[in-house]
């Protein structure tokens, strides 16, 4: 190949790569105001950055072109209360139609899987908000009198039912799309100005599940880093307030686990009877797990000669990653087992694991006496047991 041909080939490849990194957003606003401006903002760490703007044409059309190198959040915005959160990926050609005063709920969106998922969730959220608003209208239109207490009680029950339905829908959305950045806005969605769909304390496992999944895939993306830091603070706060006990778990006997260690020998959980045992679920790919490991090392070294051990189960995919994680974090002094099944591991349904890290503290007879003890909470519980 001569130099001229090589130059032409490189030019074509470069042009093709640039086109793949471009994203296009074409839209139609129904009944726009004359001279209506629409803005494109990119979500950056701690700020929304204005990256482009356009005047909507008389027939409602607008267009943006943007270089996008990896999945990123953008806001298509008219004002503070009228915007659409978009998850834009390289090469996407997004087309949408919306009424000029309700960008949040477009009539049609195509060409962007992530944005479509967010729109689908927002529409379900709007239906629930409207149902709750109707209860408020019923209350305001009631003249009072006899039976008012029973009437209010019935409205409360209906409201709780609507909230529970939306809470379940949000969890199902996360379960279906746990690898997608579209789960981030779901974590912080609100039904009313003071009511979140997901409770950060009761539903902490879902925050941890999203964090574990996204931080391993997008460790350098600002919104994911922010989410990771916030959830780390949440875990630390809830741990300092005392262990969050899983309903119906305490005092039951821990189900048997029989899995191979890194050398291939099967080690049963029941072989640890006679000691207090921290049954810990983790993975080398899980940043929150790795952050907690030094606390486990400290606890083990402090109480290992007083009847305490750790039985650690990995949800890793490969032996190499698992063993390297053990070596790097200095975890080699206690029991390690895994079937290397990732989220398909046999232990996941057995212990109803929804996120990691997760742990169960077992007494000498193998009964669960506490769950999800982390940081200072684990140290306090062991102090209480061995004082």
Listing DSSP states for 359-374 in one string gives: EEEE-TTSBEEEE---
Confidence check: pLDDT of 213 > 80: yes
Is residue 10 assigned to a domain? no
Least Cα distance to 290 among 254, 323, 328, 317 occurs for 328
Output the pLDDT for position 313.
96
At 207 the pLDDT is: 87
The tally of CA atoms less than 13 A away on the side-chain side of residue 187 is: 26
Give the pLDDT mean for 340-354.
Answer: 85
Residues 304 and 324 in one domain: yes
Burial (0-12, 13-18, 19+ Cβ within 10 Å), 16: exposed
Three-state SS annotation for 199-256: CCCCCHHHHHHHHHHHHHHCCCCHHHHHHHHHHHHHHHHHHHCCCCCCCCCCCCECCC
In a domain, 249, yes or no: no
> Average pLDDT of 66-95?
91
Q: Which two tokens stand for residue 69?
A: 């190198």
- Is residue 247 domain-resident? no
> How many distinct structural domains can be found in the chain?
3
Q: Are residues 64 and 160 in the same domain?
A: no
- Which region among 58-67, 180-189, 303-312, 377-386 has the lowest average model confidence (pLDDT)? 377-386
- Answer yes or no: is 12 within a domain: no
* Whether residues 285 and 230 fall in one domain: no
The CATH number of whichever domain residue 371 belongs to comes to 3.40.30.10
Query: Taking the mean position of all CA atoms in its chain, how far away is CA 9?
Result: 43
Please say which residue of 79, 111, 143 terminates a domain: 111
CA distance 88 to 83: 15
Could you list the residue range(s) of the whole structural domain that residue 69 is in? 18-111
Residue 1 lies in a domain: no
Q: In percent, how much of the chain has pLDDT > 70?
A: 87
Neighbours of 346 (CB within 10 A): 13
- Evaluate if residue 358 carries a pLDDT over 80: yes
Report the pLDDT value the prediction gives residue 242, as an integer from 0 to 100.
Answer: 42
Say if residue 361's pLDDT is above 50.
yes
Question: CA 369, 373, 375, 381: dihedral to nearest 10 degrees?
Answer: -10
Supply the CATH number for residue 72's domain.
Answer: 2.60.40
Q: Do 199 and 318 have their domain in common?
A: no
Last residue of a domain, one of 60, 85, 111: 111
Residues 214 and 154 in one domain: yes
Among 111, 136, 153, give the residue marking a domain's end.
Answer: 111
Confidence class of residue 244 from pLDDT cuts 50, 70 and 90? very low
Give the pLDDT band of residue 359 (cuts 50, 70, 90). very high
Question: Is 91 a member of any domain?
Answer: yes
| φ/ψ (deg, to 5) at 258 | -135, 95
Tell me if 8 is assigned to some domain: no
Q: Which residue has the higher pLDDT, 312 or 216?
A: 312
């Amino acid at each position: 190949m001569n130099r001229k041909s090589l130059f032409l080939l490189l030019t074509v490849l470069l042009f093709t790569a640039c086109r793949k990194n471009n994203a296009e957003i074409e839209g139609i606003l129904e009944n726009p105001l004359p001279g209506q401006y629409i803005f494109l903002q990119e979500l950056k760490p701690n700020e929304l950055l204005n990256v482009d703007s356009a005047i909507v044409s008389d027939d409602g059309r607008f267009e943006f072109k943007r270089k996008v190198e990896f999945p990123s959040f953008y806001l298509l915005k008219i004002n503070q209360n009228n915007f659409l959160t978009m998850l834009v990926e390289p090469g996407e050609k997004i087309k949408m139609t919306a009424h000029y005063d309700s960008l949040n709920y477009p009539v049609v969106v195509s060409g962007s899987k992530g944005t479509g998922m967010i729109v689908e969730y927002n529409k379900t959220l709007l239906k629930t908000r409207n149902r709750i608003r109707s209860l408020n209208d019923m209350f305001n239109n009631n003249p009072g009198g006899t039976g008012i207490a029973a009437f209010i009680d019935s409205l409360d029950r209906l409201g709780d039912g609507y909230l529970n339905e939306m809470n379940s829908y949000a969890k199902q959305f996360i379960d279906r799309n746990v690898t997608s950045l579209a789960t981030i806005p779901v974590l912080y969605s609100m039904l009313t100005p003071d009511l979140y769909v997901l409770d950060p304390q009761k539903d902490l496992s879902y925050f941890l599940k999203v964090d574990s999944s996204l931080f391993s895939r997008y460790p350098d993306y600002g919104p994911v880093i922010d989410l990771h830091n916030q959830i780390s603070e949440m875990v630390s706060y809830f741990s300092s307030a005392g262990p969050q006990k899983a309903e119906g778990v305490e005092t039951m006997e821990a189900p048997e686990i029989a899995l191979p260690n890194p050398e291939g020998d099967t080690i049963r959980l029941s072989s640890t009877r006679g000691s207090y045992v921290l049954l810990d679920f983790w993975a080398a790919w899980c940043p929150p797990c790795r952050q907690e490991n030094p606390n486990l090392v400290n606890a083990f070294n402090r109480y290992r000669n007083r009847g305490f051990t750790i039985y650690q189960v990995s949800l890793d995919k490969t032996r190499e990653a698992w063993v390297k994680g053990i070596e790097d974090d200095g975890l080699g002094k206690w029991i390690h087992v895994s079937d290397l099944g990732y989220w398909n591991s046999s232990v996941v349904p057995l212990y109803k694991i929804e996120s990691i890290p997760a742990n169960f503290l077992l007494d000498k007879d193998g009964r669960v006496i506490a769950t999800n003890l982390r940081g200072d909470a684990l140290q306090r519980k062991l102090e209480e047991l061995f004082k």
